[in-house]
Structure formats: C-alpha cells, structure tokens
Structure 1
C-alpha cells in the first residue's frame, strides 16, 4: 500500500488515495522471464498465482534476510515455502470462481497467539499498537473458531503471528498466506503509519491479517485504484481466488456486484473506519 496524490487519482475514483503497491512507486517491475527461474515460475503457477508481475525481493525480517515473492504489493510469499509446495493448489479445488486462497488455517491452529513486536529494531509505534488491538478486536467479535490472543513484547517464541514495524515511509503492509494449516506468520507494517490515525492503522492491520488467514483481495480481478481500473498483472487473471459462498462475485473483466466496502479491497481512503463490511463477516464466518 502506498499513498498516492489525490489529484492524480481523482480521474480513477474519487477519494481513493491509498493503494497496495510496491513501496517505491517509480520502480519498474522487472521482466519476469529474466528474473525468475523456471522452477520459481512453475511454483508460482502451482500456487495459483500469475507469475507475470510477481517481484522477487530480499527482505529483512526479525531473524535475518529472507527471499520473498511480492504479489500486488502487499502479499509476500516465502521462497522456501513456495518451492516446497506449501502454497500449492489442493487437488480437486474449483478455481473458476469475497475470495480465499487454496490454503486455510486448520482447526487445530485456530487459536492464534499474535505478538505486537516492541523490540528495538522494529517496534510498533503507539498508533500501530492501538490499530493492532482494534484489528484483533475485529476478528474476535466474529462468530468464528478463530481466537486471537494478543500480547506485546520482543520474545517471538511460540508466536503464530508477529506484527512488526518494517520502517520506511510507506503507509501499508505485507503479509503471507497460510501454509501447512497455520496462518501466515509475519505481518510487516510500513513505518509511515506512525503518522496515520488509529482507524487507518486498524484498517491496514485488519487487511493484512485477512491475507494471513487466507483472504485474497476482494477486487482481485480488477484493481480499484492506482491503475485506471486495469487488470492487475499479478492478480487479474490468476487462478486460486475461490469465491466464498454468500458473497458477491467479480468477473475477470470488471466488478459484478463487487463489495466496494470490503476491508480486503486493495486500496482505501483516509476516511476509513477500519471495520469489516457485512460480506467480510459473511466470508470469515463461512470459512471458520
């Protein structure tokens, strides 16, 4: 997610000023064919992600560097897990059709110990901590089997999810999809959110936790902002976005009944209250 000048965006959609994009909006995406190996392309395809537009990046995590594949700006897939097939499409899944990944959290792992990191390198600011608390409250209010137990500290042992400040000036975040029946573990929050209000922090963190429990972007077939509503190169025609029963569907050429208030839309405006839409609730309560 990145802040975009309102003037430039007004021709796209009034009021939308935040988009899930790479932190440097001026950095051109590399030619995938020259950047990824055949093995990596095949692994991304098996994970039901369109390799075109996926960007390989080296990120610094709490325990050192890790190679990640960044998709649509805020979804980060770990290289080791990807090549091991942890994100791969399950046999018999219907991939033709509010959207989920192929992998979800298993029943044995639905009690989730989530850590708001306060260590010296990557500590959450006061606004980020409040946003995280409110985001956890959003999930715990639902009628699901998910139970988030939030603590703040620097001891990551036993944490199922770790939310930390990755620095920089961006105002979004990045998260991993579930793998092996467990939630995505690392949720990276951009440093620029220190200057954003509590509701924006709540929105971004709720959104990224959504990816970590298996939700894809509601507007996966056509991004709502930052690109004149053109199809997103990483998500637009990718398989693996399974429509959740009881929620609207979006066809590959545009929004057919799109839930524009969904917290899993790929962008948001500064008036967001950071809350789930009705269909977000339907989706999560169906899945869990």
Structure 2
C-alpha cells in the first residue's frame, strides 16, 4: 500500500497534546522548490525558538505560503508538517517560556463553544472542484455530528473568505508534484484560517474527505497521532519528546493507532471517518 504525506502543517495530535522535539545545531536547509535560487540560512534565534517549543528542526526551511487571492508570504516550514511566520514562531516561544510549560493546549486551542465559520473557496485557479466541495461538506459533517464536543462549524461556499474563521482551497497550482494538504494552528482562541489541499483529483471523495478532516483537525489544535514514530509513512522517526512536551489524553492509546484520521500519512483506501479514539480525543479537548 502506498502512503502519502500530508503537506506542510500540524501542531497537535488526536490522542496526544504535544509539541515536537528538535536538534540544537545551526542548519542551512535547501528550499524544496525547483524554482528556488537562493538557500536562506536559518538564524540561531529561529532554532532557539523551535527548541523552546520542541519543534523538530531537522528539515526546517523558509518558503512561500500561498493564499487564495494569489498573494504569498514567507513562512518557516518544519518537516512539511508545520508552517508559521517567523514572528508567530517567536511569539509562541515567548508564550511557552512565560507560561512555564510547553503544553501547546495551555494557550493555543479554539475557544470552547465556538461556532467556526468555514468557507469552501470557489474562485479562480484555487477553487475547489465539485468532488472537493462534497468532501468538505462530509468533513464538516464529521465534526458537527459528534455529541459532547463544544465547537461546531457553519459551512458556506464562495469567494468572500476574509470575514470567515477558516477557508479551504485547492492549492495544486503551487504544489504540482504532491498530494495532500496543509494547515496551521489556533491562536487567540481562533482556529487556523487557511487550509490548503492539493493533488487530490485522482483520489475518490472519501480520500478527499479524509485529507480535509485531517487538516481541519490541525486547525483546531491536533497533531499527528503517530507523532512518536511516523509509522504511517513507513518511518521510525520520533517527532516529539515524551517529557514535558507531551501530555497523553486520557482514554486514547499511547501506541500506534492504525485507523486514526490524524496519522501523518494517508493511503488511497481511506474512508474519511474518525475512529473511536479520534472522537475520544476531541471530546477531551473540547
């Protein structure tokens, strides 16, 4: 079975409330972009901030993050799973130091009880296809049908995303060689706003639903379930610390959970649904 990596982001896993581990040395990392002409050195303050948050800096790089209106901004990318601006990284590190804890959930979850406005983008070359719109509706249904979870979603489709809490759009035009998605993390009680998917036209609606549900999961504060091994990707790489950076959520497994929707990589046979442990984790967090 061929597995595919999720794109650029993610902060907290269903089943574990954690942030990733890192190395201490300076690194100069090449852009994962064939058009990139300049390799930008990673400054020590960025590495120090990433270490404070226990983010993995093995593959840290600068790159362009693209928005639905065609603009872009420079962001930091960590192992294709986490992306943020340098200012966001430094701010998070400061909060972690001031709080005396690295437990991400202490200051970065969506406000309890919030109804999240989410829009599927339908404009230009980053519009969702008909299949992707259906998958987004199914993904939103995954969250809204759960009892005992305080957050909920109101879904619309269109191009007026500026006033919405979250926008889901197809960014294949800027990721022509990959398949998956990317998302950010909550801040100030709000979810991550920008959710990208790309390269999914050849997969069925259930796989599209899986990827979108997964990326929304990151956007409300969850990280990969297999953060400790990336086993779903055929790897054995510890992304995080089992010390102060990881807090197990009661009622969820500590080992590999092969059917979680929050695994780091996905296959072409996904059904797009939460498993029981995913639901338990959501209920514990919200």
TM-score bracket relative to the smaller structure: 0.7 to 0.9
- TM-score, length-scaled by structure 2: 0.79
By how many angstroms is 1:42 displaced? 2.2
**SS at the partner of 2:27?**
helix
By how many angstroms is 1:92 displaced? 4.6
Q: 2:270 aligns with which of 272, 277, 280?
A: 272
C-alpha change, 1:106 and 1:48, in structure 2 (3 Å) is: farther
Q: 2:193 aligns with which of 168, 185, 188?
A: 185
2:226 corresponds to: 219
Aligned length: 251
Q: Map Cα deviations across residues 30-61 of structure 1 (whole Å, 9 max, x no partner).
A: x9623211221122223331222223211222
Q: Give yes or no for contact 2:54–2:240 (8 Å, CA) kept in 1.
A: no
**SS at the partner of 2:77?**
strand
Name the CA distance, whole Å, in 2 between partners of 1:51 and 1:169.
Answer: 24
Name the CA distance, whole Å, in 2 between partners of 1:67 and 1:179.
Answer: 19
C-alpha change, 1:195 and 1:161, in structure 2 (3 Å) is: same
What residue ranges of structure 2 are gaps of 5+ in the alignment? Answer: 9-24, 29-40
By how many angstroms is 1:77 displaced? 2.0
Q: Map Cα deviations across residues 162-193 of structure 1 (whole Å, 9 max, x no partner).
A: 11111124220000011122111111111x21
Name the CA distance, whole Å, in 1 between partners of 2:260 and 2:131.
Answer: 22
**SS at the partner of 2:125?**
coil
- TM-score, length-scaled by structure 1: 0.79
Name the CA distance, whole Å, in 1 between partners of 2:212 and 2:180.
Answer: 8
By how many angstroms is 1:119 displaced? 1.2
**SS at the partner of 1:286?**
helix
Name the CA distance, whole Å, in 1 between partners of 2:94 and 2:141.
Answer: 28
CA RMSD after TM alignment: 2.5
What residue ranges of structure 1 are gaps of 5+ in the alignment? Answer: 1-14, 23-30, 250-256
**SS at the partner of 1:70?**
strand
Name the CA distance, whole Å, in 2 between partners of 1:189 and 1:66.
Answer: 18
Q: Give yes or no for contact 1:54–1:72 (8 Å, CA) kept in 2.
A: yes
Q: 1:147 aligns with which of 152, 162, 178?
A: 152
